């Protein structure tokens, strides 16, 4: 039986439109709030259609030396052009990007996991140092 970790895909976001992009400072001050921007398709646009879209992105922080990561937030994108008139005829589309504000007490790694309704789970990570 396959484990979930076996089906999570990784790649360089500059070559693959499904990889979550994590943008934040490389180093932050302990206990001070900073912004983390999560998006997909920074270099290659990801479609946002009824048939092909990003459903959600989840952000985790794994403090250095700790056994487990902490979930920072789960961000759902629920409007992809659906409507009674048919696919891609709807009046609203969500953009698959968010900004989360957080603070950390020690260095660690941010992990982002995103789900494409067709191409599955994709992960990326970024280290954050604390001054």
Contact assessment for residue 112 and residue 57, using Cβ atoms and an 8 Å cutoff: yes
119 is catalytic: yes
16 is catalytic: yes
Query: Could you say which of 3, 14, 18, 64 is catalytic?
Result: 18
116 is catalytic: yes
Query: Could you say which of 24, 42, 62, 119 is catalytic?
Result: 119
CA proximity to 22, closest of 36, 8, 9: 36
111 is catalytic: no
53 is catalytic: no
18 is catalytic: yes
96 is catalytic: no
Query: Could you say which of 14, 52, 106, 127 is catalytic?
Result: 52
Catalytic residues, by residue number, are: 16-18, 46, 52, 116, 119
């Amino acid at each position: 039986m396959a484990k979930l970790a076996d089906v999570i895909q990784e790649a360089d976001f500059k070559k693959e439109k499904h990889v979550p992009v994590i943008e934040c400072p490389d180093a932050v001050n302990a206990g001070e709030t900073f912004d983390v921007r999560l998006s997909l398709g920074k270099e290659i646009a990801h479609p946002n259609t009824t048939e092909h879209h990003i459903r959600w992105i989840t952000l985790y922080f794994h403090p250095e030396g700790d056994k487990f990561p902490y979930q920072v937030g789960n961000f759902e994108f629920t409007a992809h052009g659906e409507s009674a008139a048919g696919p891609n005829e709807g009046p609203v589309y969500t953009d698959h990007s968010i900004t989360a504000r957080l603070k950390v007490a020690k260095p660690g790694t941010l992990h982002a996991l995103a789900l494409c309704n067709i191409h599955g789970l994709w992960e990326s990570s970024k280290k954050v140092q604390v001054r």
